[in-house]
Amino acid sequence: MLDGLRDIAQALSIALFGFSSGSAWIAAIVSPNTSYDRLDYSRADGHVRTLLISASNHIAFVLLAASALAVLAGAIGAGIVGGLSAAGFFTNRWTLAPKKKGEAPKGVRSSNKTKRVVAVSLTLIFTLVSVIATGLVIARV
């Protein structure tokens, strides 16, 4: 009975890790390329930043669910790595958050382009971490 439950949890965990990796790839690579091809620069930049904020929250939630299923399947290492990846996706919320007035020193300009580049880089790095978690849950590590 428990072996069957572990097998189902492992399969669902693999599916959710794969879903999150694919979603991150679309949010970080596919959609921005389309946005910059079809829109002017400022609209495309705003679209990509909004997309990364929205998608990162959902991807982090899916990764947390996949991590919980991995632990249930007996892959503790995959659960830990998946949780780390979920935390990494959640940091995009803070990376792309608008600054409040009066926070920055006078005369200092904030670059939205730099924030976007950092958010895309973090998304790609933590996508790789979630792929590693997928491999760990397959091996039940």
CA-closest candidate to residue 59, choices 24, 30, 94: 24
Provide the domain limits for residue 62.
2-98+110-138
pLDDT in tens, 62-120: 999 999 999 999 999 999 999 999 999 999 888 887 766 666 666 666 677 788 888 89
Is residue 121 domain-resident?
Answer: yes
In angstroms and rounded to an integer, the radius of gyration of the C-alpha atoms of the chain is: 18
The pLDDT value given to residue 105:
65
Mean pLDDT is lowest, of 1-10, 36-45, 68-77, 97-106, for 97-106
The pLDDT value given to residue 115:
82
pLDDT in tens, 46-60: 899 899 999 999 999
Higher pLDDT, 97 or 7: 7
Is residue 105 domain-resident?
Answer: no
CA-closest candidate to residue 81, choices 28, 25, 27, 21: 21
Q: Is 138 exposed, middle or buried (0-12, 13-18, 19+ CB in 10 A)?
A: middle
CA distance 54 to 76: 29
Is residue 76 domain-resident?
Answer: yes
Is residue 74 domain-resident?
Answer: yes
The pLDDT value given to residue 59:
97
Phi, psi of 126 (to 5 degrees): -75, -15
The pLDDT value given to residue 74:
94
Higher pLDDT, 74 or 1: 74
Alpha helices in 73-138 (DSSP H): 76-95, 112-138
Is residue 39 domain-resident?
Answer: yes
Q: How many domains does the chain have?
A: 1
Is residue 120 domain-resident?
Answer: yes
Angle at the Cα of 89 from the Cα atoms of 83 and 94, rounded to 5 degrees: 125
CA distance 101 to 86: 30
pTM passes above 0.85: yes
Is residue 77 domain-resident?
Answer: yes
Is residue 103 domain-resident?
Answer: no
